[in-house]
């Protein structure tokens, strides 16, 4: 487990960049690759043990593409919910 603030900042910034790339493409294979990379970055943030703020709405992927680890970390008491309109599932924006 690492708590390097620079690593957290870089990884957090990377989530936004990946979300932007995801929104710019409709290619399914490209989206799968971006979602996999996003999941790796989420895991890196979780492993810091000090991820205190969820990404902003615009820095998230659509909920059906968000990694399960994100929901397990931010909403451990709730099963992953998918919106019917393809929107984002927004649980707590801050972790206690």
Number of domains in the chain: 1
Residue 87 lies in a domain: no
Among all chains, which residue has been given the structure tokens 């870089």?
A: 10
Give domain status of residue 85, yes or no. no
Query: 66 vs 1, 5, 12, 29, 82, CA distance in Å?
Result: 22, 24, 15, 16, 10
Per-residue pLDDT of 50-84, as tens digits, reads 888 899 999 999 989 999 999 889 887 765 554 44
Question: What counts of helices (H) and strands (E) characterise the chain?
Answer: 3, 0
In a domain, 70, yes or no: yes
Instruction: Give domain status of residue 16, yes or no.
Output: yes
Structure tokens belonging to residue 13: 């910034």
Q: Do 95 and 52 touch, CB atoms closer than 8 A? A: yes
Domain extent, residue 30, equals 5-74
CB 63 within 8 A of CB 89: yes
pLDDT, tens digit (0-9, with 9 covering 90-100), for 8-49? 578 788 999 999 999 999 999 999 999 999 999 999 999 988
88 in a domain, yes or no? no
Would residue 89 count as lying in a domain?
no
């Amino acid at each position: 487990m690492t708590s390097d603030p620079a690593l957290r900042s870089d990884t957090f910034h990377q989530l936004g960049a990946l979300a932007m790339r995801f929104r710019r493409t409709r290619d399914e294979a490209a989206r799968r690759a971006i979602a996999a990379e996003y999941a790796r970055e989420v895991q890196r943030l979780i492993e810091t043990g000090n991820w205190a703020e969820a990404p902003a709405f615009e820095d998230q992927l659509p909920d059906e593409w968000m990694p399960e680890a994100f929901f397990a970390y931010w909403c451990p008491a709730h099963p992953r919910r998918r919106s019917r309109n393809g929107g984002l599932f927004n649980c707590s924006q801050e972790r206690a």
